[in-house]
């Protein structure tokens, strides 16, 4: 049984979330709820939980100040937020679960499914970084954090050669490193990285164009990457990809 608490300064938001969790009929126990994060801190001094549903904007103590007050966070954090699209992008870059208010049943179900697969530790080193990205919309992302067995691995975007779909997972192939298997879909990384010079040449392949050595139109279209891997370009993406390459022609 997954043990969870809910922290939100709006009582009605707590009640709605509790109701939606009960409707899903999943193995999760809401052991306590808090409208004041200070009281949740006192609770956590003597109790352990697997999941914390955490509102971001709260009076006197926001979510990041709350997390910074916990000496050792050993819980899966699911933020509940009404932040805009750009702020949500910050969360995606750091592979943190979040629920956008008003919370939909589908969102909640997906977040809880990921929680059942793993209870990941939220690294405190990420708190200030995520918060700074939310407050500085013009800042540039140069790293992503991906969940691994005991926390998160920080990966420089420039070191990603290509990403490969593996069912509901993705395999990230890195320069001078082993590949990393991540419990995120390729669509997730496509949305995340397309503005950083990545192109989805195939339904199952997302490449960093900075690592292209050459492109051949033969055999339907093949991209040769600098690590020696050849990747087929799908028929559906071939025309768009070739137009994309033409934009770099001298």
Q: Which residue did the predictor score with more confidence, 165 or 139?
A: 165
Per-residue pLDDT, 2: 86
Alpha carbon distance 178, 21 (integer Å): 39
Single pTM value for the model: 0.67
Residues 106 and 163 in one domain: no
Mean pLDDT of the 201-229 span = 93
Residues 11 and 117 in one domain: yes
Residues 7 and 105 in one domain: yes
pLDDT class of 226 with cuts at 50, 70, 90: very high
Residue 46 clears pLDDT 70, i.e. is over it: yes
216, 214, 246, 238: which is closest to 228 by C-alpha? 214
Residues 39 and 131 in one domain: yes
| Residue 18 resides in a domain | yes
Residues 168 and 121 in one domain: no
| Residue 151 resides in a domain | no
Segment among 47-56, 147-156, 205-214 with least mean pLDDT: 147-156
Per-residue pLDDT, 86: 61
Residues 120 and 85 in one domain: yes
Domain of residue 49, CATH code = 3.40.50.2300
Q: Where does a domain end: 102, 135, 168?
A: 135
9, 2, 63, 10: which is closest to 30 by C-alpha? 2
| Residue 205 resides in a domain | yes
Mean pLDDT of the 115-121 span = 59
Per-residue pLDDT, 117: 61
Find tokens 């890195």 and name the residue: 174
**What Cα–Cα distance (Å) separates residue 91 from each residue in 83, 136, 192?**
11, 13, 11
Mean pLDDT of the 186-204 span = 91
Could you list the residue range(s) of the whole structural domain that residue 99 is in?
Answer: 2-135
176, 186, 184, 99: which is closest to 146 by C-alpha? 184
pLDDT class of 248 with cuts at 50, 70, 90: low
Per-residue pLDDT, 249: 63
In the chain, the number of structural domains is 2
Residues 33 and 130 in one domain: yes
Q: What is the pLDDT of residues 142-180, one digit of tens each?
A: 888 887 777 778 899 999 999 999 988 899 999 988 899
Calculate the average pLDDT of the chain: 86
Residues 94 and 194 in one domain: no
Residues 122 and 168 in one domain: no
| Residue 160 resides in a domain | yes
Q: What is the pLDDT of residues 73-85, one digit of tens each?
A: 778 888 888 876 6
Residues 123 and 165 in one domain: no
């Amino acid at each position: 049984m997954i043990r969870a608490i809910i922290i939100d300064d709006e009582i009605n938001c707590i009640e709605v979330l509790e109701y939606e969790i009960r409707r899903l009929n999943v193995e999760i126990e809401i052991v306590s709820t808090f409208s004041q994060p200070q009281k949740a801190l006192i609770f956590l001094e003597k109790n352990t939980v697997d999941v914390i549903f955490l509102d971001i904007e709260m009076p006197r103590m926001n979510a990041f100040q709350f997390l910074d007050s916990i000496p050792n966070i050993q819980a899966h954090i699911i933020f509940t937020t009404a932040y805009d699209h750009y702020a949500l992008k910050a969360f995606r870059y750091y592979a943190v679960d979040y629920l956008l208010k008003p919370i939909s049943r589908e969102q909640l179900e997906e977040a809880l499914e990921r929680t059942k697969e793993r209870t990941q530790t939220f690294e405190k080193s990420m708190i200030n970084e995520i918060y700074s990205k939310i407050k500085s919309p013009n800042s540039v992302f140069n790293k992503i954090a991906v969940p691994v067995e005991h926390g998160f691995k920080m990966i420089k975007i420039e070191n990603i050669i290509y990403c490969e779909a593996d069912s509901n997972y993705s395999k990230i192939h890195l320069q001078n490193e082993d590949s990393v298997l991540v419990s995120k879909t390729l669509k997730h990384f496509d949305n995340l990285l397309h503005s950083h010079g990545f192109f989805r040449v195939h339904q199952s392949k997302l490449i960093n164009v900075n690592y292209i050595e050459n492109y051949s139109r033969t055999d339907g279209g093949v991209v040769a990457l600098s690590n020696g891997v050849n990747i087929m370009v799908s028929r559906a993406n071939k025309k768009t990809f070739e137009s994309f390459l033409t934009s770099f022609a001298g």
